[in-house]
């Protein structure tokens, strides 16, 4: 019997590529997105069904859930992939943009998990793969909002894993660095200001992250292959999977150097 995976944020980037990869491997794929106008090539694949689902809206999640469970007798894996970026100085941050990143990156994961836990519990099986980021473990300038949402996903996922252990529902997070997708280009940034130091730092950080994304040409296939391996062989214990050289290096340096030395390294790399 074919396995079924539900992927949020499947309209583009890693979400879309993951949907196509799983479908090509013979899985049934439930691809969810804000609008079916974004479907593009997904609609032509026989193993992919597309649904509208706004992870920031409980009503949208519930409506999509009812359609999904009617048309799909079992869901084996849910990949909480939907996410956005917001690069801003705390002083210049805007309520609407803070609300948006919190509602999508963190509460979106919370609400999708909350909605589908009963489905997994009845099935007596299921796996949540919550896409985090190396930003969930280390912190960089201008990342106050993005990093904090990813750290929230890490904490939420680990706590939830304890609750669901007895029901054979598995939970893991996946962390990686800057993949060469459209994500960096679509990150919302605060406007140029009259504060020169802010403008200089914004330009430097944006340039560093974009260059790093462009160099990581092999990262996207690594991520997708790892997601597939996790889905095929889920670990009953809660796991954090770190993918790619950059993410593993940052993770190693943070642990090996300790906070003070690591903080000095980040300052030297981004502020000088």
Confirm whether 254 is domain-assigned.
no
3-state secondary structure of 228: helix
How do the pLDDT tens digits run along the chain, 272 residues long? 899 999 999 998 899 999 999 999 999 999 999 999 877 778 788 999 999 999 999 999 999 999 999 999 999 999 999 999 999 999 999 999 999 999 999 999 999 999 999 999 999 999 999 999 887 777 788 889 999 999 999 999 999 999 999 999 999 999 987 766 666 667 888 788 889 888 888 888 887 777 766 666 778 999 999 999 999 999 999 999 999 877 777 777 777 777 778 777 777 767 76
Which CATH number does the domain housing residue 103 bear? 3.40.50.720
Confirm whether 263 is domain-assigned.
no
Number of domains in the chain: 1
3-state secondary structure of 138: coil
3-state secondary structure of 77: strand
Confirm whether 258 is domain-assigned.
no
For residue 50, the surrounding DSSP H or E stretch is strand 48-52
Q: For the purposes of burial, counting CB atoms within 10 Å of the CB of 237, is it exposed (0-12), middle (13-18) or buried (19 or more)?
A: exposed
| Closest C-alpha to 130, from 147, 154, 148, 100 | 154
| Closest C-alpha to 9, from 89, 87, 112 | 112
| Strand 188-189 with 86-87, pairing | parallel
Q: Which structural domain range is residue 106 located in?
A: 4-244
Confirm whether 142 is domain-assigned.
yes
Confirm whether 80 is domain-assigned.
yes
No. of H helices and E strands in the chain? 9, 9
3-state secondary structure of 88: coil
């Amino acid at each position: 019997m074919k396995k079924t995976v539900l992927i949020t944020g499947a309209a583009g980037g890693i979400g879309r590529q993951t949907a196509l990869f799983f479908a090509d491997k013979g899985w049934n794929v439930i691809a969810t997105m804000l609008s079916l106008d974004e479907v593009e090539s997904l609609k032509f694949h026989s193993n992919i069904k597309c649904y509208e689902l706004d992870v920031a809206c409980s009503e949208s999640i519930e409506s999509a859930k009812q359609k999904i469970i009617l048309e799909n007798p079992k869901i084996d894996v849910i990949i909480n992939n939907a996410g956005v970026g917001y690069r801003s100085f705390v002083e210049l941050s805007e309520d609407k943009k803070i609300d948006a990143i919190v509602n999508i990156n963190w509460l979106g994961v919370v609400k999708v998990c909350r909605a589908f836990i009963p489905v997994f519990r009845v099935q007596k099986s299921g796996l949540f793969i919550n896409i985090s980021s190396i930003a969930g473990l280390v912190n960089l300038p201008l990342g106050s909002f993005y990093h904090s949402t990813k750290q929230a996903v890490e904490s939420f996922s680990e706590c939830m894993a304890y609750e669901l252990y007895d029901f054979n529902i598995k939970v893991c997070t996946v962390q990686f660095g800057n993949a060469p997708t459209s994500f960096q280009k679509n990150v919302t940034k605060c406007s140029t200001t009259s504060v020169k130091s802010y403008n200089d730092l914004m330009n430097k950080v944006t340039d560093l992250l974009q260059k790093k994304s462009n160099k990581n040409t092999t990262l996207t296939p690594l991520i997708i292959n790892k997601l597939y391996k996790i889905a095929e062989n889920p670990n009953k214990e809660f796991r954090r999977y770190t993918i790619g050289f950059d993410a593993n290096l940052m993770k190693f340096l943070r642990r090996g150097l300790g906070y003070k030395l690591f903080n000095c390294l980040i300052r030297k790399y981004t502020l000088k």
